[in-house]
Amino acid sequence: MHKTLRLLAAGISAALAVSASVGAHAADAAHAAQTARVNQLLSSPLGKTLLSRNAGDDFTVRSVITDPDGTEHLRMDRSYRGLPVIGGDVVVKNRRGALKGVMQMLRGLERPLLVPTLSAEEAAIEAGVHFPGTVKAIADHRLVVYAGRGKPALAYQVQLLDERHDVIYYIDAKNGKLLAAHSQIMTGHAYGVGKTLRHGQVVFPVDLTGTTWQLYDHTRGGNHVLDGRRNFVDANFYKKATIFPGLHGIWGDHTTNNANSIGADAHYALAMTWDYYRDVHGRWGHANNSVGMKVYANVDFGPPSGGVQGQWYNDIMYLGYGNAAAGIGPIASLDFIGHEFTHGVTMSTAKLVYAGDPGGLNEASSDIMGTMVEFHTNNALDPPDYLVSEQVRDNRYPFRWMYYPAYDGHSFNCWPAGGFQPGVAAHDPHAASGVGNRFFYLLAEGAVAPPTSPELTPAQLVCNGDTTLVGIGREKAAKIWYRTLTAKLLSHSNYPHAKLASIEAAGELYGVNSIEQQTVARAWSAVSVP
């Protein structure tokens, strides 16, 4: 939820003055001389070869480590035309005046224009939207070049504080986009060990307050996984739910006998989902406001589903405990949690209604992005595939087959003429999702049988005989679908509209009449969407 930022630091100017940082650490003549000497080394032919140095770059020595043989390891901060370059720091190895090597993360000579579009006040407000508490003070607000991830960009560095939080935000000075958020509070014992049911032994951020451990992730917006204790989800449920306490920072024992194993799976999968959206799509949480999600695992939904269900409702995720007698484990796999998380993304963007064609698109979006979470995580114990939640059923069979939805006995391989009708039992959103799922598989992989179903022929994978369809790859397909969902689809979009919207999205991303745009059109035709 967005928060109102009350700016307590008066007089934040519309544009901050660019102040020189060269020599900021040269408090004495010796330090200044050392900086000058190393800059001269870096200007040598070898220095120019080893270092990604733009003509506007300068370097200041921050610290020095000297080996017994006299070799120096000089840690240096980079500035560009007077602005600090965040992520541009280097370590220079020097021995007796000879440059021996350079360690750096920033590659390339490209630097941004130093003309902001946003004012400092606007950047502070944007940062405040992502702050997890109530802003009490603005400790820093200045222009920098942010090079921590990808192409360097002109950004505002904004540091916000309250009693429990101290976060530095980097806000793109051109468009207000959040580039990064760095907490300045380094908590002790901030990581725990999860002995999960399906993903092996993993390490993840947790919370330790006093002697109480819980599955709370400060690094991902406050994601919080709680134990439903197999209680029925009703008005009294929240009073009965508790934390998964862990034991000295360890959760679970890889079995369902220990409820903490379920919590560990959910906490890990939620973190991996957050990371997928952040790293691939630049999205910070389901609502893109850096606020985490509350998850209740190990819950009972009552008859007829009992513990065999997952649900997203009002910004909260609920996960059932499964049904051991039926061979169904707790609902806490990577793609399942990615699926439910994506319902939150959908409700924060397109708001696709849960019936008819839009209901099918809603469910398909969750299957698509949940599957991409699985591929992005690439956990060896949960090999990525186009099967939906196969691990929940002990790898015996999935809830859905994206490439051949009709395998489950009720989902649709091809769009029916006239579309899916609200109120028709056979057109349930899960069944209607088959069309979108198959479209995505064909867009990414083409009319090729997957390893999980080698018996399928190209003709069986398409509805129109287009057996020569070649996919464009998962990465491009996911970017096209994410853009379609978040920037194009409407609350009542049907499948034909989704076709038009995704063709437009592909053109914006990869060019009009590009092979990517043409393949989007062919993939929709291959599932009978006109």
What is the per-residue pLDDT for 470?
Answer: 98
Task: Read off the pLDDT of residues 194-244 as tens digits, 9 standing for 90 and up.
Answer: 999 999 999 999 998 888 899 999 899 999 999 999 999 999 999 999 999
Q: Which of 332, 349, 374 is the last residue of a domain?
A: 332
75 shares its domain with 98: yes
H or E segment and range at residue 393: none
Give the CATH number, domain containing residue 496.
1.10.390.10
What average pLDDT does range 53-67 have in this prediction?
Answer: 87
Domain match, 195 and 177 both: no
Domain end marker among 293, 313, 332: 332
CATH number, domain of 97, equals: 3.10.450.490
Residue 198 shares a structural domain with residue 326: yes
Alpha helices by DSSP H, listed for 43-104, are 45-50
The tally of domains found in the chain comes to 4
**Which of 199, 203, 255, 202 has its CA nearest to residue 380?**
199
pTM: 0.76
Q: How far is it, in rounded angstroms, from Cα 352 to Cα 492?
A: 6
Considering the domain boundaries, does residue 9 fall inside one?
no
Task: Clarify whether residues 277 and 219 are in a common domain.
Answer: yes
Q: Are residues 442 and 419 in the same domain?
A: yes
| Catalytic residue numbers, as ranges | 340, 430
- Does any domain span residue 212? yes
**Alpha-carbon 38 to chain mean position:** 39
Please give the average per-residue pLDDT across 155-169, as a whole number: 90
Residues 258 and 412: their CA atoms lie apart, in Å, by 39
Statement to judge: residues 140 and 205 lie in one domain: no
Q: Is residue 7 part of a domain?
A: no
Cα 103 to Cα 360: distance, rounded to the nearest angstrom? 50
3-state secondary structure 174-201: CCCCEEEEEECCCCCCCEEEEECCCCCE
Tell whether 93 and 129 lie within a shared domain: no
Q: Is residue 491 part of a domain?
A: yes
- In tens, the pLDDT along 399-444 reads 999 999 999 999 999 999 999 999 999 999 999 999 999 999 999 9
| Alpha helix ranges (H) inside 233-302 | 237-240, 259-281
Query: Residue 276 falls within a domain, yes or no?
Result: yes
For residue 90, give its domain range. Answer: 29-104
Residue 287, pLDDT above cutoff 90: yes
Same domain, 61 and 146: no
Q: Which of 309, 332, 355 marks a domain boundary?
A: 332
Q: Are residues 207 and 136 in the same domain?
A: no
Q: Yes or no: say if 402 and 371 are a contact pair by the CB < 8 Å rule.
A: yes
| Phi, psi angles (nearest 5°) of residue 526 | -70, -10
Residue type, 460: Q
Q: Which of 43-52, 67-76, 424-433 has the highest mean pLDDT?
A: 424-433
User: Is residue 15 domain-resident?
Assistant: no
Average pLDDT, the chain: 89
In a domain, 168, yes or no: yes
DSSP 8-class letter at 415? P
User: What pLDDT band is residue 353 in, cutting at 50, 70 and 90?
Assistant: very high
Residue 100 burial (10 A CB sphere; 0-12, 13-18, 19+): middle
Using DSSP's 3-state secondary structure scheme, residue 237 falls into helix
Q: Per residue in 372-395, pLDDT tens?
A: 999 999 999 999 999 999 988 866
